């Protein structure tokens, strides 16, 4: 929750007038519970979405999920499980731990980004993973960036916020 990438994304979303909720997964920081091997954490995300959808300023049919590293793995897994989710944005997703089939038939916007110097994600493995995803999708490899995005947090935050604000914009009603 307090990671620089996550904080930068939330600040950028606020600048784009997009509501954002960041939280710790169970067992992290002061959150109760224990690590759930990525399964229980999916329930954390679904609960957070349900909470966010009750906020008066939030359109409950116009939600997105974003995640960084482990959070990206959970976000991509949750996206097809909740019909309210209109887009997914992932930073440094651990593609070796994710099957692209998790999004089979999920034809909503996806943005995936990594750094060219990420020690945990090979660029060729990343491109292969993205290739197997259904459209619409886009990806970027930020040159000179490692897994932790030191000094480039605001840049990746702005990129994801721009993508998400565009995806969540409701079309104008015809009169």
**Residue 173 placed within a domain:** no
Tell me how many domains the chain contains: 1
Q: What is the pLDDT of residue 172?
A: 47
**DSSP 8-state class, residue 24:** P
**Residue 175 placed within a domain:** no
- How far apart are the C-alpha atoms of 53 and 14, rounded to whole Å? 17
- How far apart are the C-alpha atoms of 108 and 81, rounded to whole Å? 13
8 Å CB contact between 105 and 135: no
**Residue 60 placed within a domain:** yes
In sequence order, which residues have a C-beta less than 8 Å from that of residue 151 and are 6 or more positions away?
none
CATH of the domain at 119: 3.40.50.1820
**Residue 35 placed within a domain:** yes
**Residue 8 placed within a domain:** yes
Which 3 state secondary structure label does DSSP give 49?
A: helix
In sequence order, which residues have a C-beta less than 8 Å from that of residue 166 and are 6 or more positions away?
none
pLDDT tens, the chain, 175 aa long: 678 999 999 999 999 999 999 876 655 666 666 665 667 689 999 999 999 999 999 999 889 999 999 999 999 999 999 999 999 999 999 999 998 899 998 999 999 999 999 999 988 999 999 999 999 999 999 999 999 999 999 999 999 999 999 999 865 445 4
**Residue 174 placed within a domain:** no
Indicate the burial class of 4 (C-beta count within 10 angstroms; 0-12, 13-18, 19 or more). middle
Q: What is the pLDDT of residue 116?
A: 95
Q: What is the pLDDT of residue 1?
A: 67
Name the residue range of residue 161's domain. Answer: 4-168
**Residue 52 placed within a domain:** yes
């Amino acid at each position: 929750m307090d990671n620089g990438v996550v904080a930068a994304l939330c600040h950028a979303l606020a600048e784009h007038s997009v509501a954002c909720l960041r939280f710790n997964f169970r067992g992290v920081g002061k959150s109760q519970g224990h690590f759930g091997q990525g399964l229980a954490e999916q329930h954390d995300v679904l609960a957070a979405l349900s909470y966010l959808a009750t906020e008066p300023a939030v359109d409950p049919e116009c939600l997105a999920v974003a995640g960084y590293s482990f959070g990206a793995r959970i976000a991509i897994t949750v996206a097809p499980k909740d019909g309210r989710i209109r887009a997914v944005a992932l930073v440094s997703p651990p593609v070796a731990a994710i099957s692209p089939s998790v999004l089979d038939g999920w034809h909503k916007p996806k943005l995936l980004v990594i750094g060219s110097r990420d020690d945990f994600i090979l660029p060729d493995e990343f491109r292969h993973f993205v290739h197997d995803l259904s459209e619409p999708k886009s990806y970027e490899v930020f040159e000179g960036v490692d897994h932790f995005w030191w000094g480039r947090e605001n840049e990746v935050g702005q990129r994801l916020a721009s993508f998400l604000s565009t995806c969540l914009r409701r079309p104008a009603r015809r009169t």
